[in-house]
Amino acid sequence: MNNEQSRVFSLDLGNSTCRIGLFEQGRITQERFVSTSSFAKNPDDLLGPIVSCPEPLAYCSVSTLAESALKEWSSRSGTKSFNVTNDSYGNFPISYPSPDEIGQDRIANAFATHRTSELPAIVIDVGTATTFDVVGKEEGYMGGVIAPGPQGFLDFLHQNTALLPKVRIGDKMPSNPIGKKTTDAMLLGIHLGFGPMVKGILNELSDELLKTSENKPKVILAGGASFHLELPDSEHRPLLTLEGIGLAYLENTTPRNPNEF
């Protein structure tokens, strides 16, 4: 398979954000995004420009609302779309006992990592949820951990208490670690607590992998919010999910040399 001669639009329908990019020559270009709520109301805002393009459209989804909007748009526009699921990843191994339970975005991340990175690896994707996915050379997708994303912690406090306000992760962070008002105290809870939580989970996963591997696992940070993390010896690949969708589509639909992979 010659990926450098192939192009496909990769679409990631997430819980909070829907993102599209053109996968070509092994990377994502022309990346754009809208909120999931906006996409559900008007998919044309994101997808309209690709109607007249010859490239195919492949997607993964964790949002039933956004996926319904995509299917309606596809029917209306006459644009076919290919859903990348746990059943459409070529010969990518999945050792997880219940593949149907794995989020499509998590498998896309693992697939891209398996095909392009040193192994074993741990992918940390920071979004609405923070997912940790373990990828081995022979095992492929092995499993992982799910925790709330930074905004999820703040939303929980607001939604489940009577007096705590709505706070956004992008609000100005206080310089003093002793909060002097409620919003500062909430932001400090994330700023001071989220990183140690991630490092604690990562250490446990790394220690487990080292029981059966001589190599320290590669750490890959995915998702737009991953830049809030400071982890030594990690690699930032914010568009990893889109890369995985593109790679999986091409491997699934292009005749493959049996000597590859």
CA–CA distance, 213 with 113 (Å, rounded to integer): 17
For 164, other C-beta atoms within 10 Å of its C-beta total 16
For 139, other C-beta atoms within 10 Å of its C-beta total 17
> Which of these, 21, 64, 16, lies nearest to 36 by C-alpha position?
16
Task: Write out the catalytic residue numbers.
Answer: 105
